[in-house]
Amino acid sequence: MIVAEQKPLAEIAENIMEAQKVLVVGCGGCVTVCLSGGQKEVDILATSLRILRKKEGKPIDTATETLERQCDKEYVDKLAEKIQAADCVVSLACGVGVQYLSERYPDKCVVPAQNTKFIGGTTEHGVWEERCGLCGECILARTGGICPIIRCSKSILNGPCGGSQDGKCEVNPDVPCAWTLIYEKLKRQGREDAIYEVFPVKDWSKSRDGGPRKYVREDVLL
């Protein structure tokens, strides 16, 4: 899932500027799962904004809503009425949700309430870790199911670098060296000879370096 972290209240407040009627919109997808943008967080943020503005002597009205998903036009359409009544919309979705709202309601100012961070998962309650860099051409089959693109700090395809020590990455002793993990996994599966294979240079044009990507399924087009 997409992992996002809420921005500091002061930054959100600054971005809504002089608005007096603020609609706070959550998303029922990833950000609900990672506890940063679901209904609960929507309520807390709306309340916090009201309190802050009241303290500043510039009270505001807030309305709230949490869509099933903000990255889906069908759900975003349902907001039409509530948005009409607002001067400013605060979105607690990932960057896609914010852009979808902004695209659908181009006359309204839509403010992001989150820093969209990465795709990852929970490793323990309250801890999320990045697992994929969306490179567009997955090589996990050859790396023991561990992604060197994102889990190696240098995206090395033929690692480890000289900085790996005690199985940790040179960048941070709390981070495992992806290549030590890969080696250990391959060894466990009796496939460590795969390390000898020289991975050719990667085609980054399939990643973000090829410009914004688009995926079309001809078979399901209407």
Partner 1 sequence: MSEPAKQDGEFTTESKLERLFARGEFVVTSEIGPQKGASAESVIHHTEQSKAYCDGFNITDNQSAVVRLSSIAAAVHIMRHGGNPVIQMTCRDRNRIAIQSDLLGAYSLGVRDVLCLSGDHQSFGNHPTARNVFDIDSIQLIALVKMMRDERRLLCGDELKTEPRFYIGAVESPTGDPVELRVMRLAKKVRAGAQFIQTQAVFDVEKFAAWMDLVRNSGLDQRVNIMAGVIPVKSVRALRYMKDNVAGISVPDELVDRMANAENPQEEGKTIAVELIAQLRRIAGVKGIHIMPVGWEDVLPEIVTRAGLQLRPVAD
Site string for partner 1, 99-118 (x = CB under 8 A): --------------------
Q: Min. distance of Cβ 195 from ligand SF4 in angstroms?
A: 12
Q: Is 128 left (phi over 0), alpha (psi -120 to 50) or beta?
A: beta
CA atoms of 69 and 89, how far apart (whole Å):
16
Q: Min. distance of Cβ 35 from ligand SF4 in angstroms?
A: 23
Torsional sign, CA 10, 31, 129, 133:
negative
| 3 close to 118: Cβ distance less than 8 angstroms | yes
Site string for partner 1, 135-164 (x = CB under 8 A): ------------------xxxxxxxxxxxx
Q: Min. distance of Cβ 143 from partner 1 in angstroms?
A: 13
Instruction: Select the span of 40-48, 96-104, 119-127, 194-202 touching partner 1 (CB under 8 A).
Output: 194-202
Show the tokens assigned to 134. 């969306």
Show the tokens assigned to 138. 């997955």
**Burial of 124 from C-beta contacts in 10 A (0-12 / 13-18 / 19+):** exposed
CA atoms of 48 and 92, how far apart (whole Å):
14
The kind and range of the H/E element at 84 are helix 80-84
**Judged by CB, which is closer to ligand SF4: 75, or 118?**
118
Q: Min. distance of Cβ 97 from partner 1 in angstroms?
A: 25
CA–centroid distance for 27 within its chain: 13
**Judged by CB, which is closer to ligand SF4: 104, or 154?**
154
**Judged by CB, which is closer to partner 1: 121, or 176?**
176
**Judged by CB, which is closer to ligand SF4: 24, or 146?**
146
The entry of partner 1, ligand SF4, none that residue 157 binds, CB within 5 to 8 Å by partner kind: partner 1
Residues 6 or more apart whose Cβ sits within 8 Å of residue 139: 147, 148, 149, 157, 199
Q: Min. distance of Cβ 151 from ligand SF4 in angstroms?
A: 7
- Binding stretches for partner 1 (CB under 8 A): 153-167, 170-171, 179-180, 183, 192, 195-196, 198-202, 204
